[in-house]
Homo-oligomer: A and B are copies of this chain.
Amino acid sequence: MVTPMDPTSAAFMLAENRNQPMHVGGLQLFRRPDDAGRTFVRDFYQDMIQERELSPLFLKRPQRSLATAGQWVWTEDTQFDIEHHVRHSGLPKPGRVRELLELCSRLHGTRLAPERPLWEATVIEGLRDGRMAMYTKMHHALVDGVSSMRLLQSVLSTDPDRREMPPPWAVQPAARGVAPEPASTDHHLADLPASAFRQALGITADAAGIAGALARTVSRGVRNETSALSFYAPRTILNTNITGSRRFAAQDWPIERLRGVGKATGTTINDVVLAMVSGAMRTYLTELGALPDTGLVAMVPVGLNAKQAQNASVDGGNAVGAVMVKLGTDLADPADRLRAVHRSMTDGKEALGTMTPLQILAMSAIGLAPAVLPPLLRMSGFTRPPFNLIISNVPGPRVPHYYNGAELVGMYPLSIPIHGMALNITCTSYAGRMGFGLTGCRRTVPRLQLLLAHLDHELSALECAAGL
């Protein structure tokens, strides 16, 4: 059966090349249940690949030929092989997080086989602390990154004793026979996991519409029409052509520490996140001898955190959009940088347009941004990049979740670097911790993993500056 591919998905297929693989990823860390036996991970994996009914999303593959008049279409994979898509790997010794991140970097730097359904999942064991991990990869033509993250979350449960839970690619018991609800554009963020999940399985979606709205908003942001400030970003090493080599780094910190800094300084948790990135980037670029004289500018989708108690970047309401934030990397003092970020955010938010939460979610680096940005970045008239990097902050569940008894203890999205935008930083909160996921081109952004130590150092410096 052949079905047409919507224009946004087709655009992702066409935009893909060796240097710009168009898939998003997710890294999930799990703690084994206390009663786990020696074969727990193997059994966990074996259960995942057992025969079951799969969602159509995970069975369709892209096709383009003379028969389709050169157009991309979806067709069902009649030779679907679950063992190609779901894999079981071990880590080399000594099994530190470093080895895990190296594996994720490699997996994320490899293109999906275009003749098969566009997804993979790898169950990873061998972390010396006994945790296990799952890296999941989905092509952006199949599902946007946010829906992908929500999809992974949607199969989890808050009940540690629940078992026989199906994997994300299976038809979910709850979803069977349920007609999709009418599309709504004014739902609250709390509704998003379910609706995004429906969208992921419903496929039709209004992705094209979102992309258009997104393009208009980003364009406004890029032209500084949304901001009282008028400025452009400096040239940096981040804003050049990239290669296909990827480096992924991830780490998390207690949200309590970020909240502490925010309370003591009258700033938000999101401000503290941005100040951490600012200080880390300043140190990183200084060491490379590549720090520009003027401060870096980040595109920050805001409103993601509305009504999420632990992230108060938008104080209630539905006013959301993208803010161009001056990170203050030209300032030597951590407290000055935090103040600069806070002021820039405050100014920027005053001029925000309105978008639905789903559109804002879609704007992040794991969302539709990779589809919308390239033409904007190529727009004539820019002698300097409109901004230097994207920093997104996507809220996740606040309480611990479990999958067949294994507790999810961390999750980090892997995004899509593109030409002109070699580094993305995507944060997710989960169960009291703020996880940072850094995805970059390994050659354009050398030794990207150093940023983790710099982020850690910067949080301490901010605490010190706040008198904590």
Binding site for B on A (CB under 8 A): 17-19, 38-39, 41-42, 45, 79, 81, 83-84, 87-95, 99, 102-103, 106, 109-111, 113, 115-116, 125-126, 243-245, 442-443
Contacts and interface: CB of A to CB of B under 8 A. Distances in A.
Contacts of A89: 89-90, 92, 103
A443 B38 CA distance: 30
Contact of A87 (B83, B106, B113, B245): B106
A41 B99 CA distance: 13
Given A79-B244, A81-B243, A93 B38 contact: yes
A57 to B, nearest CB: 20
Nearest to A94: B38
Nearest to A91: B90
A3 to B, nearest CB: 20
Q: Which of A79, A95, A116 has the most CB of B within 10 A?
A: A79
A79 B444 CA distance: 12
A281 to B, nearest CB: 24
A90 B93 CA distance: 8
Contacts of A92: 41-42, 45, 88-90, 125-126
A45 B93 CA distance: 12
Contact of A111 (B17, B19, B39, B113): B113
A116 B243 contact: no
A227 B18 CA distance: 51
Contacts of A243: 79, 81
B81 A115 contact: no
Nearest to A106: B87
Contact of A125 (B88, B93, B245): B93
Contacts of A106: 83-84, 87
16 contacts: A18-B113, A18-B115, A18-B116, A38-B94, A41-B92, A42-B92, A42-B93, A79-B244, A81-B244, A81-B443, A84-B110, A89-B89, A90-B92, A90-B93, A92-B126, A93-B126
Contacts of A88: 92, 102
A320 B111 CA distance: 44
Contacts of A17: 115
Q: Which 4 A-B pairs have the closest CB atoms?
A: A90-B90, A18-B115, A90-B92, A90-B91
A242 to B, nearest CB: 10
Nearest to A109: B84
A81 B41 contact: no
B126 A90 contact: yes
A45 B91 CA distance: 14
